[in-house]
Structure 1
Amino acid sequence: MQGLVFWAIYPILWLISILPFRIFYMVSDLIFVLVYHLIGYRRKTVKENLRLVFPKMPEAEIKRIEKKFYRHMCDMFLEMIKSISISEKELKKRFVFTNLEYLRKLENMNKSIIVMCGHYASYEWMNALQLYNLKFHAFGIYKRIRNKHFDRLAKKIRGRYNGTLISTYNATEKIRYNEENGIKGYYAMIADQSPKINRAKHWIHFMGIRVPVFEGSDRLARKLDMNVVYLQVKKKNRGYYEATMVPVTEDAQKDPEHYITESFIKLLEEQIRKKPEYYLWTHKRWKHRNEPIPKNAEIIN
Structure 2
Amino acid sequence: MQLIAYILVYPILWLISILPFRLLYGLSDIIYFFMYKIFGYRKSVVKENLRLVFPDKSEQEISTITGKFYHHFCDMMVEAIKSLTITEAEMNKRFKFTNVELINDLEKKQRSIILMCAHYGSWEWIFILQKHVKHKGYAVYKRLANKYFDKLVKRIRAKYNSHLITTKETYGVLLESKKKGELTINGFVSDQTPKVHKAFHWNEFMGIKVPMHTGAEMLAKKLDMAVVFFSVKRIKRGYYETTFKTITENPKEFKDYEITDLFFKLVEEQILQAPEFYLWTHRRWKHRDKVPAEFQ
Give TM class, smaller chain. over 0.9
The answer to whether residue 211 in structure 2 is matched with residue 208 in structure 1 is no
Residue 108 of structure 2 corresponds to 108
Larger mean CA deviation between 104-113 and 21-30 belongs to 104-113
2:75 & 2:95 partners in 1: Cα distance?
14
In the alignment, the residues of structure 2 paired with residue 7 and residue 255 of structure 1 have an alpha-carbon distance, to the nearest angstrom, of: 50
- AA aligned to 1:59 is E
1:31 maps to what in 2?
A: 31
Identity %: 49
Structure 1 residue 223 displacement after superposition: 1.6
Contact 1:141 1:171 in 2 (8 A): yes
Corresponding residue for residue 186 of structure 1: 185
2:136 aligned residue: 137
With normalisation by structure 1, the TM-score equals: 0.96
Normalising by structure 2, we get a TM-score of 0.98
Q: Which amino acid counterpart does residue 10 of structure 1 have in structure 2?
A: Y
Aligned residue type for 2:82: K
Which digits, 9 at most, give the CA deviation of each residue in 1:72-107, with x for residues without a partner?
A: 000001101000000000000000011111111111
Aligned residue number for residue 158 of structure 1: 157
Question: CA separation in 2, counterparts of 1:49 and 1:137?
Answer: 37
How far has the Cα of 1:233 moved from its partner?
Answer: 0.5
- CA-to-partner distance for each residue in 1:220-275, whole Å, 9 max, x for gaps? 11121100111110011000000011111011111222121011000000000110
Correspondence for 2:54: 54
Match of residue 65 from structure 1: 65
For residues 150 and 169 of structure 1, what CA distance do their matches in structure 2 show?
Answer: 20
Q: Could you say which residue in structure 2 is the equivalent of 1:281?
A: 280
Residue identity matched to 1:20: P
2:252 maps to 253
CA RMSD across the alignment: 1.1
Structure 1 contact 139–165 (Cα < 8 Å) conserved:
yes
C-alpha contact (below 8 Å) 1:53/1:208 kept by paired residues: yes
Kindly state the Cα deviation for residue 292 of structure 1 after the two structures are TM-superposed.
Answer: 4.1
State the 1:130 CA deviation.
Answer: 1.4
Tell me, which stretches of 5 or more residues in structure 2 are unaligned?
none
Q: 1:144 touches 1:168 (CA, 8 Å); kept in 2?
A: no
Provide the C-alpha distance between the structure 1 equivalents of 2:108 and 2:255, rounded to a whole number of angstroms.
Answer: 24
SS at match of 1:169: helix
**Residues 157-190 of structure 1: per-residue CA shift (max 9 Å, x gap):** 1011121111122112211121122121110001
Question: Does the 8 Å CA contact 2:234/2:241 hold for their aligned counterparts?
Answer: yes
Aligned mates of 1:69, 1:86 — CA distance in 2? 24
For 1:197, the equivalent position in structure 2 comes to 196
- Which runs of structure 1 show a deviation greater than 3 angstroms over 4 or more consecutive aligned residues? none
